[in-house]
C-alpha cells in the first residue's frame, strides 16, 4: 500500500500525517497523537522508526498509546538507535566532566532528560553514587542499556533508582525506589564549590539535593555579608550554608520536615558555621510568615512546585502571590528577596506578573536586579525549550 506519494513506507514504522513532521525535523523530541497518521502493531514502550508521509526516515522514538505525547524521539536521522542512545549518554557524561573539578564539586546532574537527548531520564552523580529517575515506559525498557553505559563510563560504587513521579501512572508504571547495584552508603558526604554537605537518599525529595540551584546558592553567598537571612522551604539547608559562608550575621531556616531540618543543622555544623543566633523552625512556611513579627535583610523563597498540572495554574498563581507578598512585608527597606518557581506551567512571563501583583499589594517599591541562572549541568535543549522549568528573580525591596 502506497501513501499517495509513490513511496511505500515500512510496515513497522510510525507514519506522521502530511505536514506534521516539522517539529521532529526541528529535533523536538515529542510526538503528539494528533500528528500520527498510522501506527503499526506494537507493545507500549517499543521503539519504532518514525517516517514522514512521503516515507523519509526521521529517526527513532519510543511509543505509548496510553499517553497524549504518544512518542518521544531518542535518535534523529538514520542509523542504529542503540548506538545513538549510548552516544547521548557518553556526550552527557563527558560534558559534565569538563565542567567540574572533582576536588571542589563532586555532585552534579549527568543526564537531564531532553536536555541531553534522553527523554524520560534524569541521572545525578553524588560522589560515586548515581541516582536515576525514569518517568516513561520507553525509557524503562532502555534502562539496562543506560545502566551498562553509565557503569562503564563512571564506575559508580552504587546506583539507586528513585522513580516516584506522578507521570509514571499515565505511563502504566508503578513507583520504584531502591538500590539497583552496589552498596548504599548514607548519609553520604559530598562537596559543592568546596563546601561540604551530607545527603540522605532514602525518603529524600527528588534525587536528594537540589543540584539545579548551584549558581543561585553562589549568588546568595555574595549578597549575605552582615545580613539577617530567612531561608524558607530550607529543606537540608543548602542556601543557609551558603549564606553563612558569605558572612551572614544570622540565618533562620524554615521547613515542615523534621528530618530535613536535622540535616540542615548537620550541614551547617560540618562547615563550622554554627552560631547561637541561628534559628531552625519546623513549620508550614505560609503559617510561619503570617505569625512572625521579625524583619529580615534577605529572604529566600524556593518552594516546591505549586502547579503539577495545567489546571492547577490559578491556585498556584494565588499561592505564589500570597507568599511573596507576605515575605515582602517582612523585609527591611533596602533588602533583598530571592524568589523561585519550579512549576513548569508557571512560565517566566506569568511569574513576573505574579511578583508585580505581590509587590503592588505589599505597597513596597520592588526592582528586579537579577534573573535565575541555570546550573551548568542542567542544559536546556534549544530544540526542546520545555526543559526550562525553573525560573527565579532577585529583587531589591525598598
Beta bridge partners, 14, equal 50
β-bridge pairing 296-301 and 331-341: parallel
What is the grid cell recorded at 263?
Answer: 540535616
Give the C-alpha separation, 63 to 338, whole Å. 40
The answer, yes or no, to whether the previous bond of 187 is cis (omega within 30 of 0) is yes
| Contact in structure between 112 and 378 (CB atoms under 8 Å) | yes
Count the Cβ atoms, other than its own, within 10 Å of residue 105: 20
How big is the chain, counted in residues? Answer: 398
Closest Cα to residue 375, out of 216, 209, 205, 220? Answer: 216
Q: Which amino acids are annotated catalytic? A: 342
Amino acid at each position: 500500500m502506497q501513501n499517495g506519494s509513490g513511496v511505500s513506507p515500512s510496515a513497522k514504522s510510525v507514519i506522521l500525517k502530511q505536514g506534521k513532521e516539522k517539529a521532529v525535523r526541528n529535533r523536538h523530541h515529542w510526538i503528539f497523537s494528533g500528528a500520527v497518521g498510522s501506527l503499526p502493531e506494537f507493545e507500549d514502550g517499543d521503539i519504532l522508526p518514525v517516517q514522514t508521509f512521503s516515507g523519509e526516515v526521521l529517526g527513532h522514538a519510543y511509543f505509548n498509546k496510553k499517553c497524549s505525547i504518544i512518542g518521544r524521539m531518542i535518535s534523529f536521522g538514520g542509523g542504529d538507535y542503540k548506538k545513538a542512545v549510548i552516544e547521548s549518554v557518553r556526550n552527557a557524561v563527558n560534558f559534565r566532566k569538563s565542567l567540574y573539578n572533582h576536588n571542589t564539586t563532586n555532585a552534579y546532574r549527568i543526564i537531564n532528560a531532553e536536555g541531553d537527548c534522553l527523554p524520560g531520564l534524569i541521572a545525578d552523580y553524588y560522589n560515586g553514587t548515581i541516582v536515576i529517575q525514569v518517568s516513561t515506559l520507553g525509557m524503562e525498557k532502555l534502562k539496562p542499556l543506560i545502566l551498562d553505559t553509565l557503569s562503564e563510563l563512571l564506575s559508580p560504587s552504587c546506583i539507586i533508582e528513585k522513580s516516584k513521579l506522578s507521570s509514571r501512572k499515565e505511563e502504566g508504571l508503578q513507583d520504584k525506589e531502591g538500590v539497583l547495584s552496589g552498596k548504599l552508603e548514607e548519609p553520604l558526604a559530598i562537596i559543592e564549590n568546596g563546601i561540604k554537605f551530607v545527603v540522605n537518599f532514602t525518603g529524600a525529595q527528588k534525587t536528594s539535593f537540589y543540584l539545579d540551584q548551584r549558581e543561585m546558592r553562589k549568588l546568595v553567598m555574595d549578597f549575605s555579608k552582615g545580613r539577617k537571612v530567612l531561608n524558607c522551604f530550607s529543606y537540608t539547608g543548602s542556601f543557609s550554608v551558603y549564606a553563612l559562608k558569605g558572612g551572614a550575621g544570622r540565618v533562620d531556616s524554615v521547613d515542615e520536615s523534621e528530618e530535613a531540618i536535622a540535616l540542615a543543622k548537620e550541614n551547617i555544623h560540618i562547615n563550622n558555621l554554627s552560631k547561637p543566633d541561628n534559628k531552625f523552625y519546623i513549620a508550614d512556611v505560609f503559617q510561619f510568615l503570617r505569625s512572625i513579627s521579625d524583619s529580615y535583610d534577605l529572604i529566600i523563597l524556593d518552594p516546591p512546585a505549586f502547579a503539577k498540572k495545567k489546571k492547577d495554574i490559578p491556585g498556584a498563581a494565588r499561592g505564589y502571590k500570597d507568599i511573596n507578598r507576605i515575605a515582602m512585608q517582612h523585609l527591611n527597606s533596602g533588602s533583598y528577596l530571592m524568589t523561585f518557581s519550579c512549576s513548569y506551567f508557571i512560565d517566566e512571563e506569568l511569574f513576573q506578573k505574579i511578583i508585580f501583583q505581590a509587590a503592588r499589594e505589599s505597597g513596597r517599591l520592588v526592582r528586579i536586579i537579577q534573573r535565575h541562572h541555570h546550573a551548568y549541568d542542567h542544559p536546556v535543549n534549544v530544540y526542546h525549550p520545555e526543559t526550562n522549568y525553573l525560573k527565579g528573580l532577585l529583587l531589591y525591596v525598598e
